Amino acid sequence: MYTYDIEQLLKDGSAIQLKPQGYSMYPLFHPGRDEAIIEAYPIDQLRRGDVILYRRDQGILVHRICRITSDGFYLVGDNQTEIEGPLRPDQIRGKMTGVVRGGKSFSVSHPLYRMLSSLWLFLRPIRPLFWRTATLFR
């Protein structure tokens, strides 16, 4: 499916299911295993911790909102520490509302997912330490 088709489907009110590539959203989202359910969503209802689909020069990406200011939206991948932004509201195409894992879907508004994703976002500054420690136990 072409990028334009994805964006048009979202504009038309359809939910889409994507298999994002890469490890920027690992460990909460596994490439090749998990699929993101994306829907158009009102910009003024987006919050810290929400995962959004957005347009950049390189294409469309999926990352988590870590901060919202009057300048725009600041994003970070779950497997990254560097914050990117500000992102303009017109670059946002949709919000991840669910995940399909192993053929079963769950809502990202589920309390357990919200708790884990909030904790992981909070730990952003020390993620490199976490990854180094985890490699010692492998």
Predicted local distance difference test score (pLDDT) of residue 5:
85
The predicted-structure confidence for 97-133, as pLDDT tens digits, reads as follows: 999 998 999 999 999 999 999 999 999 988 888 777 8
Would you list the DSSP string of 49-105? T-EEEEEETTEEEEEEEEEEETTEEEEE-TT----EEEEPGGGEEEEEEEEEETTEE
Phi and psi, residue 7, nearest 5°: -65, -40
Whether pLDDT at 3 is above 70: no
This prediction's pTM: 0.88
Residue partners of 101: CB distance under 8 A and separation at least 6: 30, 33, 34, 35
Q: Which amino acid appears at position 61 of this protein? A: L
Q: Which of 101, 114, 100 is nearest to 17 (CA)?
A: 100
Alpha-carbon distance 42 to 60, whole Å? 18
Contact 4, 16 (CB under 8 A): no
The predicted-structure confidence for 31-55, as pLDDT tens digits, reads as follows: 889 999 999 999 999 999 999 999 9
